[in-house]
Structure 1
């Protein structure tokens, strides 16, 4: 087994199999700790942090001191200084994060918070601390895979982008002898060489053979504790158990008792339906969406029974729903402006109020198929050494080299009957039912890990 495969396969070790009593009985309890605020990356949602929450809770950290912001427009502008519909500037996110931190401090009566950001989320954290008065409100800042020196340093490529190390945004953040603001404890996590956005060659930016001006060390900062997590990809340096352990130890000054997840017998789930106007990713709530949850047969994906149905209100929330930690579920999202989306999930070992749902989309190519099934890994990418399969066959569209894609899509031919399809990523398997494109339906197998 290659080192990369061994690392990625370690994600599930001991997680859902560990009982809550056995695991939590030997972990410390924390009384009124500094709240931790998690900040998602470009195009992402607060929902990406739910497995991180589970690991913190499994180490005795109180659930009511964990928070995750959901930026309404998570995609960055092409040029940070130029308005772009349904996208946000660095200033937008700085101001929204400042307001969120103020609310968390009010709700918890805490003097300061700790911030943890993935990718672009680190840009918002740095901007808030340096330019938004955040230094007075933040004790620790952790930046995971953040392109602190850009994904490119160029006067032409990505001109004006907040991801360009030569553009004004990063130039002013990195100015000075130290690249961090004093009075806040700083840490970065990065890959050794497997981060698609910290590469010397522009291959992964669509510029093969052209130097980016960025090195593997691009996410590191002068003045911070810089942690290297070998073999992990751009997302895994925030969401992998190894990343959790490094972040927990930095914030709590002690190693976690476990990187596993302690199961609850009856987890309570909730979240909101996020909009996709014109196929653009947003975190705007969708009112009037109908969400059904069906318990499924784990071996076939067929429905056993309808266990929840709700139409969302103005806030977009579809719950709460009391689940079983051993059951598999199909979430069906029906909105006026998107395909009916069937999202199949592994069992939920713990409660979460950030199980946000986005409807899927159908491309012109998809619409020619009989059924479309996508395997999605929001918290990491698929690498060439991973086991990624549909019904035992290698999943399409996974390139060699650095892990760069988080989805793989199987297109079934027109006229194919509805059938069970086994979707596998290393040790996590989700069995789905295909649904016909002719009925404006799309299927997603969404991985937790």
Structure 2
């Protein structure tokens, strides 16, 4: 009897091993698991552009730890193209080893599409490790790069753009970054990856606690903010002030910028303070996360450096940088956006025309004269891709600043962030609004 059981056990083990050896990529996909997903951003981008889609993926059963962004310096001052490709090779190897998957699914946006087309064509071995490629509002191509099955998603602009031999989908009412973050794009690439529509295109709220992690990065190089400290404070949502003097968590930032995980309340408001020195703190504010998130990006710069250093400061006024991964439209009337700061409408046809594709707004007292003038954008910011600048006098005081976004397509929904009116001579402040409704 014992010998018979042993023979049966060995036969079962042999059958399992044989099945594993003979399992084809198609068979692996039928196991019900999902392949790892890697997103490659465009010019001046980061993993922030894929944050909402990662939340939608996990809302549909994907594992958060298998969704990553491959970040690089899009000015190529701290890395070469080949270093970007070598780093991607290493990332794919790690994800495949961690997941046991046969291949990854790859997405790229704008400048990143040109890089990924070149990457997939550079080596048959590289192309063989990618199951699907999604080309988001970027470079056209005569054929699918590396013969990898390709989905191309296009927003507003010329209908002549295409990837030959690929599935080409067009959303002519969506702008350049909106194409990356929209629910419509998500539905397209989810079905392309899995062969079925998603259960939901919403970001499904998790009850209770959520896990948050990410990177503190220098903008736009995506180099880690090495030597800084990230302190996380829970806020009073009515005033934006800290509920406690002691932070809820502290993370020391190394060369890669990574921090976390942090166990947060999903509906709570938090401040992420990037501490450069006792007299130089960058305060970053977000809407409640509501779902676990591993792509939280704290974009900062060294004191006195970067585009933020162009903002004039004083102890009399506060400076705000307001971000959203969906362009602000100030010239589309009822079909556009509204963004009010202490009741003042910031957006208008001059500083946020649809053609500007602005996702970052720099608002401060230009000239330090205590006067607001929104008749024209501030040139040094408006000349930068995806950025705009506005002369708005926001007094530093004990009264909080109310920032209210009424996004287009939101049926009157308003997103509100209350932040302290900190003097710009000592504090930098960045606010990030969600790019989706709900």
Give the TM-score band, short-chain normalised. 0.7 to 0.9
Q: CA deviation at 1:299?
A: 2.3
Matches within 5 A, 1:13-92: 31-71=32-72, 73=73, 75-77=74-76, 85-86=77-78, 88-92=79-83
CA contact (8 A) 1:398 1:408 kept: no
Paired with 1:324 and 1:217, the residues of 2 have a C-alpha distance of: 47
Matches within 5 A, 1:188-199: 188-193=152-157
- Quote the residue 2:270 is aligned against: 329
Paired with 2:145 and 2:53, the residues of 1 have a C-alpha distance of: 26
Cα distance, 1:181–1:406 mapped onto 2, change above 3 Å = closer
Q: Does 1:398 align with 2:347?
A: no
Q: CA deviation at 1:408?
A: 2.1
Q: 2:424 aligns with which of 429, 437, 440?
A: 437
- Quote the residue 2:402 is aligned against: 422
- Quote the residue 1:375 is aligned against: 322
Cα distance, 1:38–1:365 mapped onto 2, change above 3 Å = closer
Paired with 1:69 and 1:448, the residues of 2 have a C-alpha distance of: 21
- Quote the residue 1:363 is aligned against: 309
Name stretches of at least 5 consecutive residues in structure 2 with no aligned partner.
1-29, 331-335, 371-392, 408-413
Paired with 2:210 and 2:130, the residues of 1 have a C-alpha distance of: 31
Cα distance, 1:400–1:358 mapped onto 2, change above 3 Å = closer
Paired with 2:186 and 2:280, the residues of 1 have a C-alpha distance of: 35
CA contact (8 A) 2:227 2:254 kept: yes
- Quote the residue 1:209 is aligned against: none
Q: 2:177 aligns with which of 226, 235, 238?
A: 235
In terms of Rg, which structure is larger? 2
Cα distance, 1:418–1:187 mapped onto 2, change above 3 Å = same
Q: 1:303 aligns with which of 242, 248, 258?
A: 242
Cα distance, 1:182–1:310 mapped onto 2, change above 3 Å = closer
Cα distance, 1:92–1:337 mapped onto 2, change above 3 Å = farther
What secondary structure is seen at the aligned counterpart in 1 of 2:184? Answer: helix
Structure-2-length-normalised TM-score = 0.74
- Output one character per residue of 1:182-233: Cα deviation in whole Å (capped at 9) or x when no partner: 642111111133xxxxxxxxxxxxxxxxxxxxx3543x21111111113111
Q: CA deviation at 1:30?
A: 7.3
Paired with 1:325 and 1:190, the residues of 2 have a C-alpha distance of: 33
Structure-1-length-normalised TM-score = 0.73
Paired with 2:94 and 2:344, the residues of 1 have a C-alpha distance of: 48
Runs of 4 or more above 6 Å deviation: none
Q: 1:143 aligns with which of 128, 131, 135?
A: 135
Matches within 5 A, 1:201-350: 215-218=158-161, 220-264=162-206, 265-275=208-218, 281-305=220-244, 306-335=247-276, 339-350=280-291
Larger helix share, 1 or 2: 2
Paired with 2:268 and 2:84, the residues of 1 have a C-alpha distance of: 37
Cα distance, 1:348–1:399 mapped onto 2, change above 3 Å = closer
Aligned residues: 355
Paired with 1:373 and 1:267, the residues of 2 have a C-alpha distance of: 27
